[in-house]
A and B are shown apart, each in its own frame.
Chain A
Protein backbone atom coordinates (compact mmCIF):
# COMPACT_ATOMS: atom_id res chain seq x y z
CA UNK A 1 0.00 0.00 0.00
CA UNK A 2 1.38 3.46 -0.85
CA UNK A 3 1.78 5.65 2.16
CA UNK A 4 0.56 9.25 2.24
CA UNK A 5 3.81 9.98 4.06
CA UNK A 6 5.75 9.18 0.91
CA UNK A 7 4.01 11.88 -1.11
CA UNK A 8 6.32 14.54 -2.57
CA UNK A 9 6.82 17.11 0.21
CA UNK A 10 6.46 19.97 -2.27
CA UNK A 11 3.08 18.81 -3.52
CA UNK A 12 0.17 20.92 -2.32
CA UNK A 13 -2.07 19.14 0.16
CA UNK A 14 -4.48 21.94 1.03
CA UNK A 15 -5.32 24.15 -1.94
CA UNK A 16 -7.57 26.48 -0.02
CA UNK A 17 -4.74 27.59 2.24
CA UNK A 18 -1.85 26.69 -0.06
CA UNK A 19 -0.14 24.29 2.35
CA UNK A 20 2.19 21.54 1.11
CA UNK A 21 2.55 17.95 2.32
CA UNK A 22 5.96 18.65 3.86
CA UNK A 23 4.64 21.39 6.09
CA UNK A 24 1.67 19.33 7.25
CA UNK A 25 3.86 16.29 8.01
CA UNK A 26 6.36 18.45 9.94
CA UNK A 27 3.52 20.05 11.87
CA UNK A 28 1.96 16.73 12.88
CA UNK A 29 5.39 15.38 13.86
CA UNK A 30 6.59 18.49 15.67
CA UNK A 31 3.39 19.24 17.56
CA UNK A 32 2.29 15.63 17.87
CA UNK A 33 -1.14 16.56 16.50
CA UNK A 34 -3.86 14.02 17.03
CA UNK A 35 -6.71 15.81 15.23
CA UNK A 36 -7.28 17.82 12.05
CA UNK A 37 -8.36 20.74 14.22
CA UNK A 38 -4.92 20.87 15.83
CA UNK A 39 -3.26 20.72 12.42
CA UNK A 40 -5.43 23.57 11.13
CA UNK A 41 -4.66 25.64 14.20
CA UNK A 42 -0.92 25.12 13.77
CA UNK A 43 -0.35 25.39 10.02
CA UNK A 44 -3.74 26.48 8.57
CA UNK A 45 -4.13 23.39 6.36
CA UNK A 46 -7.76 22.31 6.28
CA UNK A 47 -9.18 25.72 7.14
CA UNK A 48 -11.14 26.21 3.90
CA UNK A 49 -13.47 23.85 2.06
CA UNK A 50 -12.30 20.94 4.26
CA UNK A 51 -12.09 18.49 1.37
CA UNK A 52 -8.50 17.75 2.40
CA UNK A 53 -9.52 16.63 5.91
CA UNK A 54 -9.53 12.89 5.06
CA UNK A 55 -6.01 13.28 3.67
CA UNK A 56 -4.81 15.02 6.86
CA UNK A 57 -6.52 12.34 8.97
CA UNK A 58 -4.67 9.64 7.03
CA UNK A 59 -1.36 11.41 7.65
CA UNK A 60 -2.11 11.65 11.37
CA UNK A 61 -2.85 7.92 11.44
CA UNK A 62 0.30 6.99 9.50
CA UNK A 63 2.46 9.16 11.73
CA UNK A 64 0.86 7.71 14.85
CA UNK A 65 1.61 4.21 13.56
CA UNK A 66 5.15 5.30 12.78
CA UNK A 67 5.54 6.67 16.33
CA UNK A 68 4.07 3.55 17.84
CA UNK A 69 6.38 1.35 15.79
CA UNK A 70 9.40 3.50 16.71
CA UNK A 71 8.32 3.45 20.33
CA UNK A 72 8.15 -0.35 20.20
CA UNK A 73 11.67 -0.61 18.82
CA UNK A 74 13.07 1.76 21.46
CA UNK A 75 11.24 -0.11 24.21
CA UNK A 76 12.68 -3.35 22.88
CA UNK A 77 16.23 -1.91 22.89
CA UNK A 78 15.83 -0.50 26.40
CA UNK A 79 14.36 -3.79 27.52
CA UNK A 80 17.27 -5.72 26.09
CA UNK A 81 19.92 -3.34 27.48
CA UNK A 82 18.44 -3.14 30.96
CA UNK A 83 17.46 -6.77 30.82
CA UNK A 84 21.11 -7.77 30.36
CA UNK A 85 22.36 -5.38 33.05
CA UNK A 86 19.83 -6.52 35.62
CA UNK A 87 20.21 -10.12 34.92
CA UNK A 88 17.29 -10.39 32.59
CA UNK A 89 14.42 -11.22 34.96
CA UNK A 90 11.26 -9.14 34.71
Chain B
Protein backbone atom coordinates (compact mmCIF):
# COMPACT_ATOMS: atom_id res chain seq x y z
CA UNK B 1 0.00 0.00 0.00
CA UNK B 2 1.16 3.56 -0.59
CA UNK B 3 1.94 4.25 3.11
CA UNK B 4 4.05 1.09 3.37
CA UNK B 5 1.42 -0.91 5.23
CA UNK B 6 1.35 -4.55 4.23
CA UNK B 7 -2.22 -5.77 4.08
CA UNK B 8 -2.49 -9.55 4.46
CA UNK B 9 -6.04 -9.83 5.76
CA UNK B 10 -7.85 -10.30 2.46
CA UNK B 11 -10.11 -13.06 3.75
CA UNK B 12 -11.58 -10.43 6.09
CA UNK B 13 -12.09 -7.86 3.37
CA UNK B 14 -10.46 -6.69 0.16
CA UNK B 15 -9.68 -3.32 -1.28
CA UNK B 16 -12.14 -2.41 -4.07
CA UNK B 17 -10.55 -2.74 -7.49
CA UNK B 18 -9.90 0.61 -9.25
CA UNK B 19 -12.33 -0.32 -12.04
CA UNK B 20 -14.98 -0.98 -9.36
CA UNK B 21 -14.39 2.40 -7.73
CA UNK B 22 -14.55 4.15 -11.08
CA UNK B 23 -17.83 2.49 -12.07
CA UNK B 24 -19.37 3.17 -8.68
CA UNK B 25 -18.34 6.81 -8.67
CA UNK B 26 -20.07 7.25 -11.98
CA UNK B 27 -23.28 5.77 -10.59
CA UNK B 28 -23.06 7.80 -7.38
CA UNK B 29 -22.86 10.92 -9.53
CA UNK B 30 -25.34 10.43 -12.32
CA UNK B 31 -26.98 7.08 -11.78
CA UNK B 32 -28.97 7.86 -8.67
CA UNK B 33 -32.30 6.67 -10.08
CA UNK B 34 -34.58 4.12 -8.49
CA UNK B 35 -34.63 1.04 -10.74
CA UNK B 36 -38.35 0.67 -10.09
CA UNK B 37 -39.15 4.11 -11.56
CA UNK B 38 -40.46 4.07 -15.09
CA UNK B 39 -38.91 7.35 -16.25
CA UNK B 40 -35.56 7.65 -17.99
CA UNK B 41 -33.44 8.08 -14.86
CA UNK B 42 -35.04 5.02 -13.27
CA UNK B 43 -34.66 3.08 -16.46
CA UNK B 44 -30.95 3.92 -16.63
CA UNK B 45 -30.47 2.61 -13.09
CA UNK B 46 -32.42 -0.53 -13.92
CA UNK B 47 -30.27 -1.02 -16.98
CA UNK B 48 -27.12 -0.86 -14.84
CA UNK B 49 -28.52 -3.35 -12.33
CA UNK B 50 -29.37 -5.77 -15.10
CA UNK B 51 -25.91 -5.35 -16.59
CA UNK B 52 -24.39 -6.29 -13.25
CA UNK B 53 -26.74 -9.26 -12.98
CA UNK B 54 -25.40 -10.56 -16.29
CA UNK B 55 -21.81 -10.09 -15.09
CA UNK B 56 -22.43 -12.01 -11.87
CA UNK B 57 -24.35 -14.74 -13.70
CA UNK B 58 -21.34 -15.08 -16.02
CA UNK B 59 -19.00 -15.55 -13.07
CA UNK B 60 -20.84 -18.61 -11.76
CA UNK B 61 -22.39 -20.07 -14.92
CA UNK B 62 -25.95 -19.17 -13.90
CA UNK B 63 -28.90 -17.64 -15.73
CA UNK B 64 -29.45 -13.95 -15.08
CA UNK B 65 -32.89 -14.71 -13.67
CA UNK B 66 -31.28 -16.89 -11.01
CA UNK B 67 -29.24 -14.03 -9.48
CA UNK B 68 -30.68 -12.16 -6.48
CA UNK B 69 -28.80 -9.15 -5.08
CA UNK B 70 -28.70 -8.88 -1.30
CA UNK B 71 -26.92 -6.66 1.22
CA UNK B 72 -24.21 -9.18 2.17
CA UNK B 73 -23.40 -12.89 2.33
CA UNK B 74 -24.94 -13.13 5.80
CA UNK B 75 -28.26 -12.01 4.35
CA UNK B 76 -27.82 -14.46 1.45
CA UNK B 77 -27.15 -17.26 3.94
CA UNK B 78 -30.17 -16.30 6.06
CA UNK B 79 -32.34 -16.21 2.94
CA UNK B 80 -31.07 -19.55 1.70
CA UNK B 81 -31.33 -21.48 4.95
CA UNK B 82 -34.48 -19.94 6.39
CA UNK B 83 -36.13 -19.74 2.96
CA UNK B 84 -35.69 -23.44 2.20
CA UNK B 85 -36.85 -24.53 5.65
CA UNK B 86 -39.81 -22.16 5.40
CA UNK B 87 -40.82 -23.53 2.01
CA UNK B 88 -40.68 -27.13 3.23
CA UNK B 89 -41.90 -26.50 6.73
CA UNK B 90 -44.93 -28.78 6.65
CA UNK B 91 -42.98 -31.72 5.32
CA UNK B 92 -39.54 -32.03 6.88
CA UNK B 93 -37.48 -30.04 9.28
CA UNK B 94 -33.96 -31.29 9.33
CA UNK B 95 -30.93 -29.35 8.19
CA UNK B 96 -27.30 -30.43 7.79
CA UNK B 97 -24.30 -28.16 8.16
CA UNK B 98 -20.62 -28.82 8.93
CA UNK B 99 -18.57 -28.05 12.02
CA UNK B 100 -16.34 -25.61 10.10
CA UNK B 101 -18.98 -23.34 8.56
CA UNK B 102 -18.83 -19.58 8.96
CA UNK B 103 -20.50 -18.13 12.07
CA UNK B 104 -23.39 -16.92 9.90
CA UNK B 105 -24.33 -20.50 9.00
CA UNK B 106 -23.80 -21.75 12.56
CA UNK B 107 -25.89 -18.95 14.01
CA UNK B 108 -28.76 -19.49 11.58
CA UNK B 109 -28.51 -23.17 12.49
CA UNK B 110 -28.81 -22.29 16.18
CA UNK B 111 -31.79 -20.05 15.42
CA UNK B 112 -33.47 -22.79 13.40
CA UNK B 113 -32.93 -25.34 16.13
CA UNK B 114 -34.48 -22.96 18.67
CA UNK B 115 -37.56 -23.14 16.46
CA UNK B 116 -37.75 -26.89 16.46
CA UNK B 117 -35.67 -27.68 13.38
CA UNK B 118 -33.21 -30.54 13.86
CA UNK B 119 -29.73 -29.40 12.89
CA UNK B 120 -27.07 -32.03 12.21
CA UNK B 121 -23.42 -30.96 12.28
CA UNK B 122 -21.00 -32.98 10.15
CA UNK B 123 -17.49 -33.40 11.57
CA UNK B 124 -14.17 -32.90 9.78
CA UNK B 125 -10.84 -34.64 10.32
CA UNK B 126 -7.55 -33.14 11.49
CA UNK B 127 -6.93 -31.69 8.02
CA UNK B 128 -10.35 -30.03 7.95
CA UNK B 129 -11.64 -32.58 5.44
CA UNK B 130 -15.27 -33.64 5.63
CA UNK B 131 -16.31 -37.10 6.86
CA UNK B 132 -18.23 -38.44 3.84
CA UNK B 133 -19.41 -41.57 5.64
CA UNK B 134 -21.10 -39.41 8.24
CA UNK B 135 -22.64 -37.40 5.43
CA UNK B 136 -24.24 -40.56 4.00
CA UNK B 137 -25.48 -41.59 7.45
CA UNK B 138 -27.02 -38.15 8.03
CA UNK B 139 -28.55 -38.00 4.56
CA UNK B 140 -30.45 -41.17 5.40
CA UNK B 141 -32.50 -39.05 7.84
CA UNK B 142 -33.84 -37.02 4.93
CA UNK B 143 -32.71 -33.44 5.57
CA UNK B 144 -34.49 -30.73 3.63
CA UNK B 145 -31.29 -28.70 3.29
CA UNK B 146 -27.54 -29.26 3.28
CA UNK B 147 -25.48 -26.09 3.71
CA UNK B 148 -21.77 -26.33 3.13
CA UNK B 149 -18.88 -24.01 2.32
CA UNK B 150 -16.73 -24.31 -0.78
CA UNK B 151 -13.51 -22.91 0.72
CA UNK B 152 -12.97 -22.38 4.43
CA UNK B 153 -12.42 -18.77 5.47
CA UNK B 154 -9.84 -19.64 8.13
CA UNK B 155 -7.83 -22.43 6.53
CA UNK B 156 -8.71 -22.27 2.82
CA UNK B 157 -9.51 -26.00 2.80
CA UNK B 158 -11.72 -26.90 -0.19
CA UNK B 159 -14.78 -29.05 0.45
CA UNK B 160 -15.84 -31.74 -2.07
CA UNK B 161 -18.97 -29.73 -2.78
CA UNK B 162 -19.79 -31.42 -6.10
CA UNK B 163 -19.76 -34.85 -4.44
CA UNK B 164 -21.74 -33.62 -1.42
CA UNK B 165 -24.28 -31.98 -3.72
CA UNK B 166 -24.68 -35.13 -5.80
CA UNK B 167 -25.31 -37.28 -2.75
CA UNK B 168 -27.53 -34.70 -1.07
CA UNK B 169 -29.69 -34.14 -4.13
CA UNK B 170 -30.02 -37.90 -4.62
CA UNK B 171 -31.34 -37.95 -1.06
CA UNK B 172 -33.87 -35.25 -1.95
CA UNK B 173 -32.17 -32.36 -0.15
CA UNK B 174 -31.70 -28.82 -1.42
CA UNK B 175 -28.04 -27.77 -1.41
CA UNK B 176 -26.75 -24.35 -0.41
CA UNK B 177 -23.09 -23.41 -0.82
CA UNK B 178 -21.23 -20.58 0.87
CA UNK B 179 -18.73 -19.76 -1.88
CA UNK B 180 -17.60 -16.46 -0.36
CA UNK B 181 -13.88 -17.31 -0.16
CA UNK B 182 -13.55 -19.06 -3.50
CA UNK B 183 -14.19 -16.23 -5.98
CA UNK B 184 -11.31 -15.63 -8.37
CA UNK B 185 -9.33 -18.56 -6.97
CA UNK B 186 -11.49 -21.46 -8.16
CA UNK B 187 -13.80 -21.79 -11.12
CA UNK B 188 -17.27 -21.60 -9.60
CA UNK B 189 -19.81 -23.19 -11.90
CA UNK B 190 -23.22 -23.89 -10.43
CA UNK B 191 -23.82 -26.58 -13.06
CA UNK B 192 -20.69 -28.64 -12.46
CA UNK B 193 -21.00 -28.11 -8.72
CA UNK B 194 -24.66 -29.14 -8.98
CA UNK B 195 -25.93 -26.82 -6.26
CA UNK B 196 -29.32 -25.15 -5.78
CA UNK B 197 -28.33 -22.02 -3.87
CA UNK B 198 -25.02 -20.22 -3.58
CA UNK B 199 -23.97 -17.18 -1.55
CA UNK B 200 -21.35 -14.56 -2.41
CA UNK B 201 -20.09 -11.43 -0.70
CA UNK B 202 -18.93 -8.40 -2.69
CA UNK B 203 -16.28 -7.11 -0.33
CA UNK B 204 -14.41 -10.42 -0.31
CA UNK B 205 -13.55 -10.03 -3.98
CA UNK B 206 -12.71 -6.39 -4.55
CA UNK B 207 -16.27 -5.02 -4.62
CA UNK B 208 -17.56 -2.81 -1.79
CA UNK B 209 -19.26 -3.82 1.45
CA UNK B 210 -23.04 -3.76 1.57
CA UNK B 211 -23.69 -5.97 -1.42
CA UNK B 212 -24.00 -9.72 -1.75
CA UNK B 213 -25.49 -12.29 -4.08
CA UNK B 214 -27.71 -15.29 -3.73
CA UNK B 215 -27.97 -17.68 -6.65
CA UNK B 216 -31.33 -19.45 -6.59
CA UNK B 217 -31.65 -22.23 -9.16
CA UNK B 218 -34.78 -22.04 -11.24
CA UNK B 219 -37.37 -24.25 -9.57
CA UNK B 220 -35.59 -24.41 -6.19
CA UNK B 221 -38.06 -24.41 -3.32
CA UNK B 222 -37.26 -21.33 -1.28
CA UNK B 223 -39.13 -18.38 0.15
CA UNK B 224 -37.87 -14.79 0.46
CA UNK B 225 -36.39 -13.57 3.72
CA UNK B 226 -36.53 -9.78 3.26
CA UNK B 227 -40.11 -9.14 2.24
CA UNK B 228 -40.95 -5.83 0.60
CA UNK B 229 -42.13 -4.14 -2.53
CA UNK B 230 -41.41 -6.94 -4.96
CA UNK B 231 -37.89 -5.99 -6.03
CA UNK B 232 -35.58 -8.69 -7.40
CA UNK B 233 -38.55 -10.51 -8.90
CA UNK B 234 -40.26 -10.68 -5.51
CA UNK B 235 -37.31 -12.59 -4.00
CA UNK B 236 -35.79 -9.71 -2.02
CA UNK B 237 -37.64 -6.57 -1.03
CA UNK B 238 -35.95 -3.19 -0.66
CA UNK B 239 -34.73 -0.58 -3.12
CA UNK B 240 -31.63 -1.86 -4.86
CA UNK B 241 -28.19 -0.64 -3.80
CA UNK B 242 -27.38 0.42 -7.35
CA UNK B 243 -23.76 1.59 -6.79
CA UNK B 244 -22.96 -1.56 -4.81
CA UNK B 245 -24.59 -3.78 -7.41
CA UNK B 246 -22.68 -2.05 -10.20
CA UNK B 247 -19.51 -2.55 -8.16
CA UNK B 248 -20.08 -6.26 -7.61
CA UNK B 249 -20.81 -6.68 -11.31
CA UNK B 250 -17.53 -5.10 -12.34
CA UNK B 251 -15.64 -7.09 -9.70
CA UNK B 252 -17.31 -10.33 -10.85
CA UNK B 253 -16.15 -9.74 -14.39
CA UNK B 254 -12.65 -8.93 -13.23
CA UNK B 255 -12.37 -11.98 -10.97
CA UNK B 256 -13.83 -14.33 -13.54
CA UNK B 257 -10.89 -13.72 -15.85
CA UNK B 258 -7.24 -14.52 -15.28
CA UNK B 259 -7.91 -17.21 -12.67
CA UNK B 260 -4.92 -19.30 -13.75
CA UNK B 261 -2.45 -16.43 -13.43
CA UNK B 262 -3.95 -15.40 -10.10
CA UNK B 263 -3.74 -18.96 -8.80
CA UNK B 264 -0.12 -19.30 -9.85
CA UNK B 265 0.81 -16.01 -8.20
CA UNK B 266 -1.08 -16.81 -4.98
CA UNK B 267 0.37 -20.31 -5.00
CA UNK B 268 3.93 -19.05 -5.03
CA UNK B 269 3.15 -16.57 -2.24
CA UNK B 270 1.62 -19.39 -0.17
CA UNK B 271 4.65 -21.62 -0.69
CA UNK B 272 7.03 -18.80 0.29
CA UNK B 273 5.06 -18.00 3.45
CA UNK B 274 4.89 -21.63 4.52
CA UNK B 275 8.58 -22.22 3.90
CA UNK B 276 9.57 -19.21 6.00
CA UNK B 277 7.15 -19.82 8.86
CA UNK B 278 7.92 -23.53 9.12
CA UNK B 279 11.48 -22.49 9.97
CA UNK B 280 10.14 -21.22 13.33
CA UNK B 281 10.15 -23.82 16.09
CA UNK B 282 6.91 -25.29 17.49
CA UNK B 283 4.74 -24.23 14.61
CA UNK B 284 2.02 -25.95 12.62
CA UNK B 285 0.23 -25.06 9.40
CA UNK B 286 -3.46 -25.89 9.69
CA UNK B 287 -5.47 -27.61 6.99
CA UNK B 288 -4.68 -30.20 4.34
CA UNK B 289 -1.36 -29.62 2.56
CA UNK B 290 -3.11 -30.04 -0.78
CA UNK B 291 -6.66 -29.05 -1.64
CA UNK B 292 -6.62 -25.53 -0.24
CA UNK B 293 -7.34 -22.34 -2.11
CA UNK B 294 -4.03 -20.57 -2.69
CA UNK B 295 -3.34 -17.37 -0.80
CA UNK B 296 -4.52 -18.41 2.67
CA UNK B 297 -2.14 -19.69 5.32
CA UNK B 298 -3.39 -20.51 8.80
CA UNK B 299 -0.53 -21.05 11.19
CA UNK B 300 -0.41 -21.81 14.92
CA UNK B 301 2.52 -20.93 17.18
CA UNK B 302 2.73 -23.10 20.25
CA UNK B 303 2.29 -21.43 23.58
CA UNK B 304 1.51 -17.87 22.52
CA UNK B 305 -1.64 -15.96 21.67
CA UNK B 306 -2.30 -15.38 17.99
CA UNK B 307 -3.87 -12.01 18.77
CA UNK B 308 -0.59 -10.95 20.42
CA UNK B 309 1.28 -11.77 17.21
CA UNK B 310 -1.32 -9.82 15.22
CA UNK B 311 -1.01 -6.76 17.47
CA UNK B 312 2.80 -6.88 17.50
CA UNK B 313 2.89 -7.18 13.71
CA UNK B 314 0.36 -4.35 13.36
CA UNK B 315 2.81 -2.04 15.14
CA UNK B 316 5.24 -2.77 12.32
CA UNK B 317 2.63 -2.09 9.67
CA UNK B 318 1.66 -5.68 8.86
CA UNK B 319 -2.08 -6.44 8.92
CA UNK B 320 -2.93 -10.04 9.81
CA UNK B 321 -5.77 -11.78 11.58
CA UNK B 322 -6.03 -14.20 14.48
CA UNK B 323 -8.40 -16.79 13.01
CA UNK B 324 -11.38 -15.20 11.26
CA UNK B 325 -11.92 -11.47 11.54
CA UNK B 326 -15.56 -12.10 12.48
CA UNK B 327 -14.48 -14.14 15.50
CA UNK B 328 -11.52 -11.93 16.41
CA UNK B 329 -13.54 -9.83 18.83
CA UNK B 330 -15.06 -12.86 20.54
CA UNK B 331 -13.57 -14.77 23.42
CA UNK B 332 -12.15 -18.21 22.84
CA UNK B 333 -10.28 -20.07 20.13
CA UNK B 334 -11.44 -20.73 16.62
CA UNK B 335 -14.35 -23.19 16.29
CA UNK B 336 -12.83 -24.31 12.98
CA UNK B 337 -9.48 -25.26 14.51
CA UNK B 338 -11.23 -26.80 17.48
CA UNK B 339 -13.33 -28.92 15.10
CA UNK B 340 -10.09 -30.02 13.44
CA UNK B 341 -8.74 -31.16 16.80
CA UNK B 342 -5.84 -28.69 16.96
CA UNK B 343 -4.12 -29.28 20.34
CA UNK B 344 -4.84 -26.78 23.11
CA UNK B 345 -1.29 -25.45 23.35
CA UNK B 346 -1.52 -24.44 19.68
CA UNK B 347 -5.19 -23.50 19.51
CA UNK B 348 -4.89 -19.94 20.77
CA UNK B 349 -1.80 -19.23 18.74
CA UNK B 350 -3.57 -19.11 15.38
CA UNK B 351 -2.64 -16.44 12.88
CA UNK B 352 -4.21 -16.16 9.44
CA UNK B 353 -2.33 -14.64 6.54
CA UNK B 354 -4.49 -14.02 3.49
CA UNK B 355 -3.18 -12.57 0.24
CA UNK B 356 -4.83 -11.16 -2.84
CA UNK B 357 -3.79 -10.70 -6.45
CA UNK B 358 -1.91 -7.47 -5.75
CA UNK B 359 0.11 -8.87 -2.84
CA UNK B 360 3.80 -8.98 -3.76
CA UNK B 361 6.55 -11.44 -2.87
CA UNK B 362 8.50 -8.63 -1.20
CA UNK B 363 5.50 -7.94 1.03
CA UNK B 364 5.11 -11.53 2.20
CA UNK B 365 8.86 -11.82 2.78
CA UNK B 366 8.83 -8.72 4.95
CA UNK B 367 5.67 -9.93 6.74
CA UNK B 368 7.30 -13.27 7.52
CA UNK B 369 10.34 -11.49 8.98
CA UNK B 370 8.03 -9.42 11.19
CA UNK B 371 6.06 -12.50 12.29
CA UNK B 372 9.24 -14.42 13.05
CA UNK B 373 10.51 -11.53 15.18
CA UNK B 374 7.14 -11.13 16.92
CA UNK B 375 6.95 -14.80 17.83
CA UNK B 376 10.51 -14.79 19.19
CA UNK B 377 9.76 -11.66 21.21
CA UNK B 378 6.49 -12.98 22.60
CA UNK B 379 8.01 -16.31 23.53
CA UNK B 380 10.58 -14.44 25.60
CA UNK B 381 8.35 -11.83 27.13
CA UNK B 382 4.83 -13.21 27.28
CA UNK B 383 3.90 -15.07 30.49
CA UNK B 384 1.45 -17.17 28.45
CA UNK B 385 4.51 -18.84 26.91
CA UNK B 386 3.85 -21.51 29.48
CA UNK B 387 0.40 -22.17 27.98
CA UNK B 388 -0.26 -25.85 27.77
CA UNK B 389 2.93 -26.83 29.53
CA UNK B 390 1.33 -27.39 32.91
Interface residues of chain B: helix, strand, loop or mixed (majority): mixed
Bound CA span A27–B29, Å: 56
Asked whether B290 lies within 8 Å of A51 as measured between CB atoms, the reply is no
The stretch among B88-96, B105-113, B158-166, B338-346 that forms the contact with chain A is: B158-166
The stretch among A1-9, A42-50, A63-71, A79-87 that forms the contact with chain B is: A42-50
Asked whether B267 lies within 8 Å of A49 as measured between CB atoms, the reply is no
The stretch among B14-22, B185-193, B377-385 that forms the contact with chain A is: B185-193
A65 CB, nearest partner CB in chain B, Å: 23
- Central interface residue in A18, A49, A50, A53, by most chain B CB within 10 Å: A49
Size category of the binding interface on chain A: 10 to 19
B164 CB, nearest partner CB in chain A, Å: 8
B260: interface (CB < 8 Å)? yes
B230: interface (CB < 8 Å)? no
In the assembled complex, which residues on chain B have CB atoms less than 8 Å from the CB atom of A53? 162-163
B216: interface (CB < 8 Å)? no
A33: interface (CB < 8 Å)? no
Interface residues, chain A, with chain B CB atoms under 8 Å away: 12, 15-18, 44, 47-54
The 5 closest A-B pairs by CB, nearest first: A48-B158, A51-B162, A51-B192, A50-B162, A50-B160
Interface residues, chain B, with chain A CB atoms under 8 Å away: 150, 158-163, 186-187, 189, 192-194, 259-260, 263-264, 267, 290-291, 293-294
Complex A-B: 29 CB contacts under 8 Å: A12-B260, A15-B187, A15-B259, A15-B263, A16-B291, A17-B290, A17-B291, A18-B260, A18-B263, A18-B264, A44-B290, A44-B291, A47-B291, A48-B160, A48-B186, A48-B291, A49-B150, A49-B159, A49-B160, A49-B162, A49-B186, A49-B193, A50-B162, A51-B162, A51-B189, A51-B192, A51-B193, A51-B194, A54-B192
